Amino acid sequence: MTDPNAIQPSALDQLPDRDPEETAEWQASLDAVAREAGPHRAAYLMRRTLERAEAGGVALPKLLETDYVNTIPTSAEPGLPGDPEMEARITAWNRWNAAAMVTRGAKHGVGGHIATFASAAWLYETGFNHFFRGKEQDGSGDQLYIQGHASPGIYARAFLDGRLNEGHLDNFRQESGGNGLPSYPHPRRLPWLWEFPTVSMGLGPLSAIYQARFNRYLTNRGVKDVSASHVWAFLGDGEMDEPESTAALALAAREELDNLTFVINCNLQRLDGPVRANFKIVQELEAQFRGAGWNVVKTLWGSAWDELFALDTTGALVRRLRQVPDAQVQTYQTRDAAYIRQDFFGADPALVEMAKLLSDDKILECFHLSRGGHEARKVYAAYKAAVEHKGAPTVILAQTVKGHTLGSGFASKNANHQMKKLSVDEFKAMRDLLGLPIKDSDFTDGVVPYGHPGADSPEVRYLQERRAALGGPAPARRVHPLAPLPAPAAKAFTAFDKGSGSQNVATTMAFVRLVKDLVRDKETGKRWVPIVPDEARTFGMESLFPSLGIYSPKGQTYEPVDRDQLMYYKEAKNGQILNEGITEAGSMADFIAASSAYATHGEAMIPFYIFYSMFGWQRTADQMWQLGDQLGRGFLVGATAGRTTLTGEGLQHADGHSPVIAATNPAALSYDPAFAYEVAVIVREGLRRMYGEAKPGEDRDVFYYLTVYNEPLPQPAKPAAPGIDEGIVKGLYRFNTAESAGVTAPANAPRIQLLGSGTAIHWALDAQKLLAEDWGVAADVWSATSWGELRRDALDADAALLRGEERVPYVRQALQGAEGPVLAVSDYMRQVPDQIAQWVEQDWSSLGADGFGLSDTREAARRHFGVDAESIVVAALAQLAKRGEVKATAVKEAREKYGL
C-alpha cells in the first residue's frame, strides 16, 4: 500500500539533480520549520519564497490561491483623492432613491431589485467619481457593462445629476407611456443612456472580453486609436456559474488585454441562497482566473478588520477565514456577538484569546458591516491597481453584503433577491443610518419620497465636476453624426447578372466572391470585418488569408507551413479577418462589438459573420437577441444551409429551422436567396439601409441574416423584367412562367404557382418541366427570397387596417391574378413558408423538410423528406385534383411513376 505521507513522484524527478546535497539541505530546512513552528508557518514561508521567485523572474508555476485576505494591505493603499465625505453623501442619496424607486414601483406590481445595488453602490460610485471615462474627450470613453439588477442605482445617479426626473423614476419598468425606464440596461429602450445589454446572464462577461479585444483590433488596424478606452464589466458571483461567463478567459489573458477589468460583486448570494454554501466562491474564482492567466485583486475586508489582523500573530485568524464556508459567513451576518464568539473564535484556542480583546461592538462591526467592497478607499486601491497593471486583464473580487444599509430585514437574507420593497419604518431607519435630511412629514400617505439635495447643491456640483473632468456623463450612448458610407462600385454587385454560364457556383461561393470585391473598395473596404469560427476553408475563404491577413496582436512569429503556397496562412497585427477558432459564441461576441462600433466609437464597421447555419441561431440565438437590443448592424451568413444540402453530415448538421428562429427576432431581416444575383441585390440593399442614405422613417438599426448553400449549380442570368430588385428585397418575385421557361403544355392547361426559396427553387424548376411534359400542367415559378419579410409586411398591413388605413400586403399584390393554387417549398420545415399562408388568396399548400436530418446523398435526403422534384409534382397534382382540374387518378399514377 502506498504511504500517503510519502513524497510522490513529480516532473522534477525526471530532471537530473546537479547538487543532491544542497537539495537535501533545503528539504531538511523545510522539515525543521514544519516540526518546530508548525505546518502553517512552513506553508507561509513557501508561499513567500514562490512570490519572491516570481518577482525575480524565476519561471515557476503560479500559485492559484492566496489567503482569504485583501491582496492590497492597508499600508500599501493609495490615498483616496477628491472629497470622501462629499462622495459618501452622494452615495447615500443614490442608495435612497434606488430603493425608493423600486418600492414605489412595487405598488404597481412591476417588480424590481433593491439588494444588488445596495451591495455594489461603492463599486459603482468609486468608478464614476475617479475612473470611468466619458465620451466627450475622444468620442469613445470607457465601455461599462453594468450588472442588470443594479440598474436602479444607475438611474438614481442620473436623477441626481439632472439627466432624469421624478417622472422618469415613477415610470421605472413602465415603458408603454413613452416616458418610462426599462427594467435593465436595454439600449433599444433607452438608447441615450445604455450602451450594452447585460441582464441575460453570462453574455455580459463574454461580450466585455471581445469588446476589449475589438478595441485593440481597431487600434492595430489603424481605423481609430482607442487605446485609452478601458472596458469595465460588473458581474455577480452567482452569474459566474454561466458557461459563457468564463468561456473566453484564456483569450483575454493570451492577448494580454490589460484594457479590461472584471469587477465581481462577491456578496456570496445568488437568487435562492448562497452561491457556494459549503465552499468559498472567492477562492474558487481566484484559482479559475489565476489559472487562466489573469491578474487577481481581492478586496474582501474593510478597515475594521485591521485591528483583528494586527492581533493575528499566529495566523489562526487567516486559517479560520479560509475554513469557514460561505453560508456560515452569511449566518454570522445575521447573528449576535455571542454566537460569533462561540462559533468562529471558539474553533481555535488562539482565536479564543483574541476574542477576549474585542468588544461585542467591534465583533459586530467586523462581521456585519466591514467589507472591502463597501469602502471607497479599498475599492479605489483595487481599481488603481487594475488600470496600472500591464500585460494581463484584471479581475477584482470585491466582497460585499447583499442588501447593505437596507436594514436587518434585508442584509444577507436568502430571500432578499425577491424582496421588492421596504416599509416606511425601514426607510426611516435607513434615512437615519445614511444621515439624509428627509423629514417624517415627507412621507405623505405612506409613500416614500424621492430625495434630492438641489440642482445647485454642493453634492450635485461635485458630481458634475467629477464627470466633466473624466469626459462627461456615464454611462452614455452616443450615435455620432456620421456621413453615410459611399456606395461601393456597382460592378461588384452586377458581376452575376449574366449568370455563370456552364460553371457551377454555390451561393456560398457567390457571397465570398462578392465580399472579396467589396473589401477592395477604396472607400469602404477597410470597414469590412470578416468573422469566421475556424471554418474559412469550408466556405472557400482561404484566398482572403494572404490579402487581408488574420488578426493577431502578436503578428506572425513563426513561418507558416504553407508559406510557399499562393493562399498561405498569414497572421498579422493589422489583419482584417477575425478567425476565432471553434467558438460560435465568441464569434457572435465579435460581431456584436463590430456591429455597434458606429455608436461605441463613432466608426461604422461592416461585420459579416459566416458560419454553419445549424450552429448559428440554434446555438447563439440569445446573443442574436442581444445584438438586436444593442442596435447592431451587419450581415449574419448561415452557410451550408438547409436540411438536405449538407451531404453526409447528418442530424446535428442539418439545419431545417434557422429561419423560424430568426423570424422571432424583430431586428433580423431574414433572407433565403436562391441565386447569386439575389445575394448581390440583398447585400447592396443592406449596405444602403444600414450604412448609406436612409429613407424617411426607415429603421437602420437592423441586421441581415442570409442563408447560402454549398451546392454548386449553374447560376441563371437575372431576369430582365421590371421590378426584380424590388421583389428580391421585399421577398417575392416571379422568376419565370411556363411559357418563358419554354416548357411544353397544352393550351388552356391547368396552372399552378410554385414558390421556392434557396436551393429548393431548383427542385421547383425541375418539377415545372415534369408537370408540363408528363402531366400537361403549366407551372409558374416564383423565387421567395424572404418568407419572413413577406410576413412582416403583411403584419404591418394588418396593423394599418386596424388604424383605418387601407394597405394591401405585398405578397397579395405580387400574386394578384396568378392562376391556380399555390404550392410553396423550401429546404426547411413547412413552418417557414407557412408564415405567409393566411395572406395568400389562392388555395395554399406547402412542402418542407420537417423532422430530424439524416446522413445520405442530397437526392436520397430530398426523397426522404418529400421535397424533390417528383414529390413536388405529386403534391401539385393533388392540389389540382382537389379543384377538379386534373383527374383524381393522376396523383396515384404519379406516385407509381416516380416510385414514391
- What does the pLDDT look like over 711-747, one tens digit per residue? 999 999 999 989 999 999 999 999 999 999 888 888 8
State residue 17's pLDDT score: 80
| Neighbouring C-beta atoms of residue 300, cutoff 10 Å | 21
Cα diameter, the chain:
109
pLDDT band at 647 (very low <50, low <70, confident <90, very high): confident
Cis peptide preceding 475, ω within 30 of 0: yes
**Nearest-angstrom CA–CA distance, 784 and 684:** 18
Residues 6+ apart with CB under 8 A from 83: 462
Neighbours of 774 (CB within 10 A): 16
Which residue type does 722 have?
Answer: P
Query: Residue 773's CB: how many other CB atoms inside 10 A?
Result: 12
Instruction: Examine the pLDDT at 643 and tell me if it is beyond 90.
Output: yes
Span 131-167, pLDDT tens digits = 999 999 899 999 999 999 999 999 999 999 999 999 9
The model's pTM: 0.93
For residue 834, what pLDDT is reported?
98
**Neighbour tally for 482: CB within 10 Å:** 12
Question: Which residues is 713 bridged to in the sheet?
Answer: 505
Question: Which amino acid, residue 187?
Answer: P
Residue 605 has a pLDDT of: 97
Looking up cell 490561491, which residue turns up?
65
Name residues whose C-beta falls within 8 Å of residue 730's C-beta, 6 or more positions apart in sequence.
Answer: 786, 789, 790, 793, 810, 814
Nearest Cα neighbor of 798 from 790, 730, 175 is 790
Distance CA 678, CA 674 (A): 7
> What is the CA angle 216-220-224, rounded to 5?
80
Mean pLDDT score across all residues of the chain: 93
pLDDT tens, residue by residue, 269-294? 888 889 999 999 999 999 999 999 99
Q: Identify whether the C-beta of residue 734 lies closer than 8 Å to the C-beta of residue 534.
A: no
Closest CA to 469 of 136, 85, 125, 124: 136
Strand partners, 236: 265
Model pLDDT, residue 286: 97
φ, ψ at 601 (rounded to 5°): -125, 0
Residue 746 has what pLDDT? 87
Q: How far apart are CA 764 and CA 158, in angstroms?
A: 59
The pLDDT score that the predictor gives to residue 421 is 75
Task: Find where cell 494581463 sits.
Answer: 392
Q: Following DSSP, what letter does each residue of 693-748 receive, concatenated?
A: -PPTT-----EEEEE-----EEPPPPP-STTHHHHHHHT-EEEE-TTTTT----TT
pLDDT grade, residue 6 (50/70/90)?
very low
408-428 tens-digit pLDDT: 666 655 555 555 578 899 999
223 forms beta bridges with none
Which residues is 635 bridged to in the sheet?
A: 608, 704
Torsion of Cα atoms, 804 then 805 then 811 then 814, to 10°: 130
Backbone torsions φ then ψ of 378, nearest 5 degrees: -65, -45
Categorize the per-residue pLDDT at 637 as very low, low, confident or very high, splitting at 50, 70 and 90.
very high
- Residue 415: count of CB within 10 angstroms of its CB: 12
What are 621's three cell numbers?
Answer: 440565438
DSSP annotation string for 237-304: TTGGGSGGGGTTHHHHHHTT-TTEEEEEEE-SB-SSSBSSTTS-HHHHHHHHHHHHT-EEEEE-B-GG
CB 286 within 8 A of CB 306: no
C-alpha cell of residue 420: 421588492
Q: Which residues pair with 610 in a beta bridge?
A: 637
Residue type, position 69, single letter: V
User: What pLDDT does residue 417 have?
Assistant: 54
Bridging pattern class, strands 504-505 and 713-714: antiparallel
| Per-residue pLDDT tens digits for 369-379 | 999 999 999 99
Percent of the chain with pLDDT over 90: 82
Q: What are phi and psi of 464, to 5 degrees?
A: -70, -35
Query: pLDDT, tens digit, for every residue of 846-893?
Result: 999 999 999 999 999 999 999 999 999 999 999 999 999 999 999 999
- The candidate with the shortest Cα–Cα distance to 538, out of 509, 513, 565, 517, is 509
Round to whole Å and give the CA distance between 468 and 137.
Answer: 10
Instruction: Report the C-alpha gap between 618 and 661 in whole angstroms.
Output: 8
Residue 650: per-residue pLDDT: 83
Overall size of the chain counted in residues:
900
Neighbours of 210 (CB within 10 A): 28
* CB contact at 8 A, 97 and 161: no
10 pLDDT band (50/70/90 cuts)? very low
Instruction: Give, rounded to a whole angstrom, the gap between the first and last alpha carbons of the chain.
Output: 70
Type of residue numbered 459: E
**Rounded distance between C-alpha atoms, residue 543 and residue 552, angstroms:** 18
pLDDT in tens, 51-98: 888 788 887 666 788 889 999 999 999 999 999 999 999 999 999 999
Pairwise CA distance, residues 69 & 318, whole Å: 7
Q: Are 638 and 708 in contact (CB under 8 A)?
A: yes
**Whole-angstrom Cα distance, residue 286 to residue 605?**
36
Q: Which residue pairs from 133-137 have beta carbons closer than 8 angstroms and sit at least 24 positions apart in sequence?
A: 133/228, 133/229, 133/230, 133/470, 133/471, 133/474, 134/467, 134/470, 134/471, 134/472, 134/473, 134/474, 134/476, 135/471, 135/472, 135/474, 135/476, 135/478, 136/471, 136/472, 137/471, 137/472
Does pLDDT of 176 surpass 90?
no
What's the pLDDT at 308?
Answer: 95
* 543 contacts 564 by C-beta, under 8 angstroms: no
Q: Is the pLDDT of residue 15 over 80?
A: no
- Rounded Cα–Cα distance for residues 665 and 791 (Å): 13
Closest by CA to 752, choosing from 873, 858, 646, is 873
Do the beta carbons of residue 512 and residue 539 sit within 8 Å? yes
Which residues, 6+ apart, have CB-to-CB distance to 27 below 8 Å? none
Q: Quick check: 849 and 872 in contact, CB under 8 A?
A: no
8 pLDDT band, cuts 50/70/90, is very low
> What pLDDT score does 12 carry?
44
Q: Average pLDDT of 820-842? A: 97
Nearest to 812 by CA among 839, 783, 844, 784: 839
- Please name which of 410, 444, 445, 413 lies closest in space to residue 429, comparing C-alpha atoms: 410
Amino acid of residue 521: D
C-alpha cell of residue 35: 516540526
CA-to-CA dists, residue 221 to 212, 583, 719, 789, angstroms: 14, 23, 41, 36
Helices 84-106, 458-469: axis angle to 10 degrees equals 100
pLDDT given for residue 594 in this prediction: 98
Q: How far apart are CA 180 and CA 189, in angstroms?
A: 9
Handedness of CA 825, 829, 833, 834 (dihedral sign): positive
**373 closest CA partner among 151, 119, 99, 85:** 119
Q: pLDDT-based confidence at 348, cuts 50/70/90?
A: very high
Nearest-CA neighbor of 530 among 567, 489, 577?
577
**pLDDT at site 4:** 39
Distance CA 160, CA 182 (A): 18
Which pLDDT score, from 0 to 100, does residue 411 have? 60
Q: How many helices (H) and strands (E) does the chain have?
A: 33, 20
